[in-house]
């Protein structure tokens, strides 16, 4: 089986696209027509980065699903793209059926088969293929290592299930942990192979942690008295190292035409789990992309439905995919603060007006427009429909974010969150803990506070205080809006992430930044005071090291 070609690290989407197109286009002689056959998981990977016409352009007659009844093409070769599983192997063998008594060919769907698997093919399945009657018709077998989902050029998902976080930490899903970790490690291996790197594997071990085996009795009891995190990152790192060793060993024993280079850029894979930083998912973040995903209901995680004004004044519903590949405005602005986004949209819009004197809206030039005025003016520009839709989308989206920020007083809430997490005020002075707790009770008691914001604020405090004591709970229970039954259950479950929920009075809580030992405070970028807290991941990457008591380099074989 072939290994991976060496590539220059770049866009993961482009890398995945190149590997798929390369497999299809080089499987048969140039100019020769072929058929592509895929199973559902493989087809999902292909369609995530390629439109079907891009596949058909590679001299492909049709794309067939292996689980369906398919039209035979006995004079054409078939390029199979499949997950390495027993079911897909059996279906390939069945496409080249031979009479068991005479050994003569009974049925052949295609002339020959070129098999490309999304991940590593086990020795057992390979042996099954080799010993089957279909073996004589199999021209090539290769592993593509494409089992990952790149949602952005440098962001990918390895999620093996819909809710992996709950499966990894839930006491009722411990039987799924090994399966999910193994599947995630397979997907991370695909990324490493695609990038053509040989990394060192480093992982994070929480200060209070234990193996799954030691935690299982406490977890299964349903009570969180043992404040310790399962060693998820450590388990994942061991699996990744094992799979990398197997891959390198296989490569060295395979006669590949494409050999891996002797020297590669030094690289490190850092394996973390959620316990490394409990603040980041709870804090309100005001960069455009984070804000949109926090406040706006997106279909499928990236599709926004909004109202588009037509030229006759009618409103119609429109959908847009927020993608760096398809939306240049989103690509440019997604990591900017919302205030900068609003200002940039206004500037770009005014420039659009100035550059097109024939517009009916030219009279608006020179006036500082609000997002609502920009939206109204855009409806009068039919000759610029593409720009109209693009600007309308982001003006509408930014406007909706700002509306929610104002309605829910998120700026005030965020100011307090930053003080609570960093222990410092906007002017850099240290904030007294008693003062913070008094203001916390006042905010939690606000009847206008959204329930989701209330529980987030409460959790931020519990992380900051490193848990809660009996007196803490009594004070919180005096707040009518706090600690419903579900809130209490959720708070108790913080113990699975290392936050004690039954701290004794004499065990004075200390800020979690001290516990994690990350430098959580920095000078705000571009003067944005609501971004003073620095996520742990950023600290780790910027410092290029982990704290020695918490960072481990896996001692597996490194080739």
CATH code of the domain covering residue 59: 3.40.50.2060
* pLDDT, greater one: 5 or 75: 75
Q: Which residues contact 155 (CB under 8 A, 6 or more apart)?
A: 12
Whether the pLDDT of residue 200 is over 50: the answer is: yes
Torsion angle defined by CA atoms of residues 522, 528, 533 and 536, in that order, rounded to the nearest 10 degrees: -80
> What is the average per-residue pLDDT within 318-333?
91
How far is Cα 503 from Cα 175, in angstroms, rounded to an integer?
30
Q: Is residue 328 domain-shared with residue 403, that is, in the same domain?
A: yes
Nearest residue to 537 via CA among 285, 337, 278: 278
Cβ(304)–Cβ(523) below 8 Å: no
| Mean predicted confidence (pLDDT) in 360-374 | 57
Specify the higher pLDDT residue, 370 or 282. Answer: 282
pLDDT at 261: 47
Q: Both 302 and 236 in a single domain?
A: no
Is pLDDT larger for residue 260 or for residue 350? 350
| pLDDT at res. 256 | 46
DSSP class of residue 199 equals -
pLDDT, residue 518, reads 53
pLDDT band at 152 (very low <50, low <70, confident <90, very high): very high
Domain annotation covers residue 550? no
**Confidence (pLDDT) at 531:** 78
Same domain, residue pair 447 and 462: yes
Whether 6 is covered by a domain: the verdict is no
Highest mean pLDDT among 160-169, 455-464, 538-547: 455-464
* Full residue range of the structural domain in which residue 385 is found: 288-407
- The secondary element (H helix, E strand) that includes residue 411 is helix 410-422
Dist. CA 517–CA 75, nearest whole Å: 65
Say yes or no to pLDDT of 210 above 80.
no
Q: What is the CATH number for 325?
A: 3.90.830.10
Q: Are residues 415 and 527 in the same domain?
A: yes
Same-domain status, 143 and 112:
yes
185 in any annotated domain: yes
Is 544 part of a structural domain of the chain? no
pLDDT category at 498 given cuts 50, 70, 90 is confident
Q: What is the pLDDT of residue 102?
A: 64
**Domain assignment of residue 551, yes or no:** no
Judge residue 434's burial from the number of C-beta atoms within 10 Å of its C-beta, 0-12 exposed, 13-18 middle, 19 or more buried: exposed
Domain membership flag for residue 353: yes
Same domain, 352 and 332: yes
Indicate if the pLDDT at residue 511 is higher than 60: no
Nearest by Cα to 171 from 226, 114, 246:
226
**Is 545 inside any structural domain?**
no
- Does 467 fall in a domain? yes
Specify whether 17 is located in the same domain as 136: yes
Averaged pLDDT score across all residues of the chain = 80
Give percent of the chain above pLDDT 90.
42
Token digits of residue 100: 């068991």
How many C-beta atoms lie closer than 10 Å to residue 138's C-beta?
Answer: 18
The last residue of one of the domains, among 360, 389, 407, is 407
pLDDT for residue 275: 87
pLDDT at 259: 46
| More confident position, 446 or 126 | 126
Q: Domain holding 436: CATH number?
A: 1.25.40.60
Residues 171 and 139 in one domain: no
Residue ending a domain, choose from 344, 374, 407: 407
pLDDT confidence tier of residue 257, bands split at 50, 70 and 90: very low
Residues 314 and 375 both lie in one domain: yes
- Tell whether 310 and 245 lie within a shared domain: no
Measured distance CA(202)–CA(268) in Å, rounded: 7
Of the candidates 363, 349, 356, the one whose C-alpha atom is nearest the C-alpha of residue 393 is 349
- How far is CA 150 from its chain centroid? 8
pLDDT per position as a tens digit, 500-510: 776 654 444 44
DSSP state of 526: G
The pLDDT score that the predictor gives to residue 1 is: 42
Show which of 148, 177, 211 is a domain's final residue.
148
Q: 195: Cβ–Cβ under 8 A, 6 or more apart, which residues?
A: 7, 9, 15, 267
Same domain, 243 and 302: no
pLDDT greater than 90 at residue 557: no
Asked whether residue 27 falls in the same domain as residue 143, the answer is yes
More confident residue, 161 or 150: 150
Q: Work out how many domains the chain is built from and give that number.
A: 4
Residues 524-538 as b or e (16 or more Cβ within 10 Å = b): beeeeebbbbbbbee
């Amino acid at each position: 089986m072939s290994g991976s070609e060496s590539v220059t690290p770049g866009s993961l989407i482009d890398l995945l696209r190149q590997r798929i197109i390369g497999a299809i286009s080089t499987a048969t002689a140039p100019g020769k027509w072929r058929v592509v056959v895929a199973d559902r998981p493989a087809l999902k990977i292909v369609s995530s980065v390629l439109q079907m016409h891009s596949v058909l352009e590679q001299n492909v007659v049709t794309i067939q699903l292996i689980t369906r009844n398919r039209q035979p093409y006995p004079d054409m070769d078939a390029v199979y793209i499949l997950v390495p599983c027993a079911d897909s192997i059996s279906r390939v063998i069945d496409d080249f059926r031979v009479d068991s008594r005479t050994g003569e060919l009974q049925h052949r769907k295609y002339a020959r088969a070129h098999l490309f698997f999304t991940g590593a093919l086990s020795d057992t399945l390979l042996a099954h293929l080799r010993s089957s009657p279909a073996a004589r018709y199999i021209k090539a077998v290769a592993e593509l290592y494409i089992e990952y989902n790149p949602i952005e050029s440098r962001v990918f998902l390895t999620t093996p299930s819909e809710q992996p976080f709950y499966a990894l930490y839930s006491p009722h899903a411990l039987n799924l942990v090994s399966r999910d970790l193994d599947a995630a490690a397979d997907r991370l291996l695909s990324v490493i192979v695609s990038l053509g790197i040989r990394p060192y594997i480093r992982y994070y071990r929480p200060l209070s942690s234990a193996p799954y085996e030691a935690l299982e009795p406490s977890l299964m009891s349903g009570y969180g008295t043992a404040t310790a995190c399962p060693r998820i990152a450590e388990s994942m790192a061991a699996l990744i190292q094992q799979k990398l060793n197997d891959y390198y060993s296989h490569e060295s024993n395979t006669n590949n035409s494409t050999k891996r280079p002797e020297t590669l850029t030094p690289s490190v894979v850092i394996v973390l789990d959620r316990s490394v930083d409990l603040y980041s998912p709870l804090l309100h973040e005001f960069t455009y992309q984070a804000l949109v995903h926090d406040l706006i209901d997106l279909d499928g995680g990236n599709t926004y439905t909004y109202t588009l004004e037509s030229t006759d004044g009618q409103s119609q519903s429109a959908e847009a995919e927020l993608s760096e590949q398809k939306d240049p405005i989103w690509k440019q602005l997604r990591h900017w603060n919302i205030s900068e986004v609003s200002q940039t949209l206004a500037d770009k819009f005014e420039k659009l007006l100035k550059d097109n004197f024939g517009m009916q809206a030219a009279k608006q030039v020179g006036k500082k427009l609000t997002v609502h005025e920009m939206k109204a003016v855009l409806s009068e520009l039919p000759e610029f429909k593409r720009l109209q839709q693009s600007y309308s989308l982001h003006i509408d989206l930014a406007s909706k974010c700002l509306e929610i920020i104002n309605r829910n007083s998120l700026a005030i809430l965020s100011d307090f969150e930053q003080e609570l997490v960093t222990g410092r005020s906007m002017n850099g002075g240290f904030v007294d803990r008693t003062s913070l707790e008094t203001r916390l009770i006042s905010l939690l008691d606000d009847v206008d506070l959204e329930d989701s914001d209330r529980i987030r604020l409460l959790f931020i405090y519990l992380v900051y205080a490193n848990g809660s004591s009996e007196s803490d709970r009594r004070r919180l229970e005096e707040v009518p809006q706090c600690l419903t039954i579900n809130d209490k259950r959720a708070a108790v479950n913080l113990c699975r992430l290392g936050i004690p929920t039954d701290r004794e009075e004499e065990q004075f809580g200390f800020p979690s930044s001290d516990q994690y030992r990350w430098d959580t405070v920095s000078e705000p970028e571009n003067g944005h005071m609501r971004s003073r807290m620095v996520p742990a991941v950023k600290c780790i990457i910027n410092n290029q090291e982990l704290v020695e008591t918490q960072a481990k380099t896996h001692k597996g074989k490194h080739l």
